[in-house]
Amino acid sequence: MLKILRINTRTREYTFEDLGAYAGLGGRALTSRIVSQEVPAGIHPLSAANKLVLAGGILACTNAANSGRTSVGAKSPLTGGIKESNSGGQFAHKLPKLGLLAIVLEDKPEDGADFTTLLIKKDKVEFLDAKNLVGKLNYAAHDVLKAAYGDKVVTALVGPAGEQCLMTANIQFSDPDGRPSRSAGRGGLGAVMGSKKVKAIVLDPEAKDSVEPADGEKFKTARKRWLDILMGHPVTSQGLPTYGTAILINIINEAGALPTKNFRSGRFDGASKISGETMTETIKARKGAYKHGCHTGCVIQCSQVYNDKNGEYLTTGFEYETIWGFGANLLVDDLDDIAVMDRTCDEIGMDTIEMANTMAMAMEAGLVKWGDGKGVIELLKKVGTKDPLGRILGNGTDFTAKAFGVDRVPVVKNQALPAYDPRAVKGIGVTYCTTTQGADHTAGYAVCQNILKVGGDVNTLGKAGQVEISKNLQVATAAVDSLGLCLFVAFAVLDTADAVSVIADMVSGLTGKPYTADDVVALGVNCLKDELAFNKAAGFTAEHDQLPAFFRNEPLPPHNTVWDFTAEEMQAAKIA
Amino acid sequence: MLKILRINTRTREYTFEDLGAYAGLGGRALTSRIVSQEVPAGIHPLSAANKLVLAGGILACTNAANSGRTSVGAKSPLTGGIKESNSGGQFAHKLPKLGLLAIVLEDKPEDGADFTTLLIKKDKVEFLDAKNLVGKLNYAAHDVLKAAYGDKVVTALVGPAGEQCLMTANIQFSDPDGRPSRSAGRGGLGAVMGSKKVKAIVLDPEAKDSVEPADGEKFKTARKRWLDILMGHPVTSQGLPTYGTAILINIINEAGALPTKNFRSGRFDGASKISGETMTETIKARKGAYKHGCHTGCVIQCSQVYNDKNGEYLTTGFEYETIWGFGANLLVDDLDDIAVMDRTCDEIGMDTIEMANTMAMAMEAGLVKWGDGKGVIELLKKVGTKDPLGRILGNGTDFTAKAFGVDRVPVVKNQALPAYDPRAVKGIGVTYCTTTQGADHTAGYAVCQNILKVGGDVNTLGKAGQVEISKNLQVATAAVDSLGLCLFVAFAVLDTADAVSVIADMVSGLTGKPYTADDVVALGVNCLKDELAFNKAAGFTAEHDQLPAFFRNEPLPPHNTVWDFTAEEMQAAKIA
């Protein structure tokens, strides 16, 4: 049986605990249960009472396709609510090799304490002096750890942003190529790790535990069917592998929903220059890789290796969100500039969505001109330095807006909006508003039915059906995040009648106990209930489930639609 | 009949409106009614939809003693809730001479618009180019306006902090000596004025309207009795005139409730060096004035003129709160340094309570050493400059804490705590938590019964009776703020059986209509109802009615008490 490793970052005591009441949970369901049960909702997110939970999903101990996502949970410094931030990388699949389902960082060292590196071994934790890493950018820090522990070492790092406890700080996880390229991006969880004075978590490369499915035959059959489902759907087998998520640039631009110039238009003149098609051509010409997995066992391969003009590695995990945010939303149409911004965020350890919106605030404030990619790169590099401007920018969109008196601030629950304008994709707007996470597209990706026509079809400009779509997706997503599956499996799952049963069969095969499609749904529902309870106790009400007023007052070209849901109307998207 | 002047700051249209549905209101009751009725709760405080209301109280058009307080209302950029910020100065008594009860600034100019000076004349508003004032500190700006309009000109100004729309920005009002020394300090309302690109409001010195009481005899009789009540109470006739509010330094220190070193102790070793007694001696030695009124008609005279070592004017309105905040709470024991901080805040246009707590965060973050007064002055001077650190500090306590990762942040609803530790004065803690205003001592000054034993007697370290005391004071205060009376009349009112009836008689004499003590209470109750309704719509719940967790976890020396109210227990302090 897997265990939970609890580490007191002040006393340096640690325990390997049986799952106890947490048995049956994993991923987001586990992080959200632990946070909602053990972290008082009213505490300061950087105080000793907060806990940082890093967990693999229920299927992380298996070789099921795309089951290696890592969930990180805590009270969010950015939103003030509960947070589950989800990442690729090798962490989740490595935890079971240490006999672990999750690691919980508790308490915090005294003021002025030095940063530490936690070396997690089987049955042992070593607290190492992190002087050799402090102040380093993530790639350099990971190189130091590779030199010490081998190229296959699995790490979780905070960059300079996390060291400074800034609200855009993410946690970077190492990928299959030995790069710290995968981000638990949203909600500032790197600040929580930084507040606990943990610079790096290193999982012992020597650990080799394995978990055998209790019903090996059942698991094997289900696992095979699962692979067929993923490989049988055009989005997961062709679209995403070929163009990555950036395939969406042209699609969403065509739909008139690509937020441009801080959400002033749904179309960007420069879209074709930053599209997935252009990216793939560029990658091919520079001998990068346009198919690439973020963790071992990924068959969707939406990632890529993007080289610079000289054919040298520049970045990976170069996502639609990042390309939109630093591109269309800032009127930047140079894909290489955007790639440098992506890499810069990975290096300093910052959420790209939050930083892209932050840069829009900097443009509104006149700190840098619209479209000036080089200027944006210079601003990004200030974060994590001693420059106070870096402290402002590194604290995100609303913070930067407040610093400079900007009143057009695209945030919900203080978290910046992703790459779909809610006036032109109403369903995703319902998710932005009503998810426990603050504005978050992954929490209930209604773009499926609204634009991609996967799993349903709805008028993207209208209100009809959107609340129900968002609600169902929010439940399904919570389940997917708890199983440890990649969200993109949803494209295939939504279009395949037996998919949820097959997932249930994998769990049943693993545990040897009955598990049905209903149990999968219950997993998601109960996770959302935990999160909603925490947020309620933290003071969130229906009034917080709203977009900023400008979405209501400013029609969005080209469709000239406005956001027209009341907060009340959307409450049905939340689990009662 | 007095009118409301509405000014559209974008179109430059203006109207002089009859009171209509707002008849019978004044001061805070009027500002809160207008804001709650006309400003959507969900809007961005710096957006065009916010309104800035400046109003005299119901008695502002009379010569009743201490009836010249000005109420400023808006949605607060600092708290996100409704705000009434209350100031001395000449503004409120000058408004009726223009035939006005209130001025409402609406809408906002386009991005990049220049600042304007509003010259308010009888039946006319002139929009003047404010180039001659922009960037100037408040005393210099007021000097420019005195040169143009005479020494008696009455002004409302925003300093560089307000120009930058920072959340500590106040509005400075001119005093009887022709200095811009009085502050509508709390809640960042200077940022709202700045967002509307109004640098100064100038009330035409030529205006000479007067309002005759409808029942002159009744008013005169009541007014005389009112004066006798104020002059008959030792606090309002002796304590406050002689030592100013700083008389409280020794009293609150003795009580073990003087927050010291960011609320780590209730006693400050250097208290005697910054006490009211020391201040009065110093003022006498330097030939300042230890008795001084903040507005014409003030008989309490708690203000003073504080000169520097050379006998040159340094500051006035040098309050207990300011002396505590920059003194005990920062371990600074040099009264002259604190006086310079006070003046600096008045010059840049910043709330001293918010800035003092902000400096405590700067000390927690290591930007300046505990006790380093000169260092604090240097930091304060950064606000309003181009230095990004000034943008951080100028946005207040929680903002600065976030910028530097400080987790011990004394705020309620994002507004910093005043000068009474709630662990040792439990009643004021109830007010901090439950008032609509964010942490605010003036909203329900339970120090009266807890420490001063005015209007009652309660165990200051216990919970018994505190909720009821706070509730009653919150109602009474809302009424006092609506009448335009100085809060300090409460000392006399609480100890005088007929005081409320006498106040009602003044209103009745003024209007010629019946007005009873019950009407005074209803005035307060209805004002609070308006404010609570706004805050509810803005998303505030009982969960926001809490002190930061450290007040619950850290016993306060010397009494070693902790904060032990639940949010639920305190709800009875709010009007149902």
Chain B within 8 Å of A546 (Cβ-Cβ)?
yes
Question: Would you put residue A371 in left (φ > 0), alpha (ψ -120 to 50) or beta?
Answer: left
Chain A within 8 Å of B543 (Cβ-Cβ)?
yes
Q: What percent of chain B has pLDDT over 70?
A: 100
Q: Which residues of chain A lie closer than 8 angstroms to B193, CB-CB?
A: none
Average pLDDT over residues B17-36: 98
Chain B within 8 Å of A329 (Cβ-Cβ)?
no
Q: What's the one-letter identity of residue B503?
A: I
> Where does the pLDDT of residue A306 fall: very low under 50, low under 70, confident under 90, or very high at 90 and above?
very high
| Residues A46, B540: C-beta atoms closer than 8 Å | no
- The pLDDT tens digits for B389-444 are 999 999 999 999 999 999 999 999 999 999 999 999 999 999 999 999 999 999 99
Chain B within 8 Å of A194 (Cβ-Cβ)?
yes
Residue A444 has pLDDT above 90, yes or no: yes
Residue B169 has pLDDT above 90, yes or no: yes
- Using the Cα atoms of residue B531, residue B533, residue B539 and residue B544 in order, give the sign of their dihedral: positive
Q: Which residues of chain A lie closer than 8 angstroms to B568, CB-CB?
A: none
Chain A within 8 Å of B312 (Cβ-Cβ)?
no
- Strand order of the β-sheet with A303-307 is A289-292, A303-307, A313-316
- The pLDDT tens digits for B43-61 are 999 999 999 999 999 999 9
- Strand order of the β-sheet with B289-292 is B289-292, B303-307, B313-316
- Using the Cα atoms of residue B33, residue B61, residue B2 and residue B9 in order, give the sign of their dihedral: negative
Residue B237 has pLDDT above 90, yes or no: yes
| Residues A405, B548: C-beta atoms closer than 8 Å | no
Q: What is the 3-state secondary structure (H, E, C) of B545-559?
A: CCCCCHHHHCCECCC
Average pLDDT over residues A335-341: 98
Greatest alpha-carbon pair distance for chain A in Å reads: 63
Over its C-alpha atoms, chain B yields an Rg (Å, rounded) of: 22
State the pLDDT at residue B353.
98
Q: Which of A75-79, A239-243, A360-364, B95-99 has the lowest mean pLDDT?
A: A239-243
Nearest to A118 by CA among A85, A91, A84: A91
CB A225 within 8 A of CB A498: yes
Q: Is B212 helix (H, G, I), strand (E, B) or coil?
A: coil
Average pLDDT over residues B322-335: 98
Residue A327 has pLDDT above 90, yes or no: yes
Tell me the C-alpha distance between B173 and B301, whole Å: 17
Q: Which residues of chain B lie closer than 8 angstroms to A539, CB-CB?
A: 539-541, 543-544
Chain B within 8 Å of A369 (Cβ-Cβ)?
no
Report residue A127 as tokens. 């607290």
State the pLDDT at residue B576.
84
What length is written for chain A? 576
Taken in order of first residue, the domains within chain B and their CATH numbers are 3-203 (3.60.9.10), 213-243+422-576 (1.10.599.10), 246-420 (1.10.569.10)
Shortest alpha-carbon distance between residue A151 and chain B (Å) = 33
Nearest to B435 by CA among B397, B390, B497, B481: B481
Residue A263 has pLDDT above 90, yes or no: yes
> Where does the pLDDT of residue A45 fall: very low under 50, low under 70, confident under 90, or very high at 90 and above?
very high
State the pLDDT at residue A104.
98
Q: What is the DSSP string of A116-182?
A: EEEEEETTEEEEEE-TTTTT--HHHHHHHHHHHH-TT-EEEE--HHHHTT-TTB-EEE--TTS---E
Which of B47, B405, B543 is closest, CB to CB, to A165? B405
State the pLDDT at residue A102.
98
State the pLDDT at residue B1.
87
Q: Which residues of chain B lie closer than 8 angstroms to A49, CB-CB?
A: 549
State the pLDDT at residue A224.
98
Residue A132 has pLDDT above 90, yes or no: yes
Average pLDDT over residues A433-439: 98
Q: What percent of chain A has pLDDT over 90?
A: 99
**C-alpha to C-alpha distances, A275 to A65, A236, A252, B342, nearest whole angstrom:** 28, 18, 10, 56
Q: What is the DSSP letter of B265?
A: B
Average pLDDT of chain B? 97
| Residues B404, A391: C-beta atoms closer than 8 Å | yes
Q: State the pairing for strand pair A3-8/A14-17.
A: antiparallel
Chain B within 8 Å of A129 (Cβ-Cβ)?
no
Q: Which residues of chain B lie closer than 8 angstroms to A82, CB-CB?
A: none
Alpha helices in A320-370 (DSSP H): 320-326, 335-348, 352-364
| Residues B539, A540: C-beta atoms closer than 8 Å | yes
Average pLDDT over residues A19-23: 97
Q: Is B563 helix (H, G, I), strand (E, B) or coil?
A: coil
| Residues B409, A195: C-beta atoms closer than 8 Å | no
Average pLDDT of chain A? 97
State the pLDDT at residue A576.
84
Chain A within 8 Å of B409 (Cβ-Cβ)?
yes
- The pLDDT tens digits for A362-405 are 999 999 999 999 999 999 999 999 999 999 999 999 999 999 99
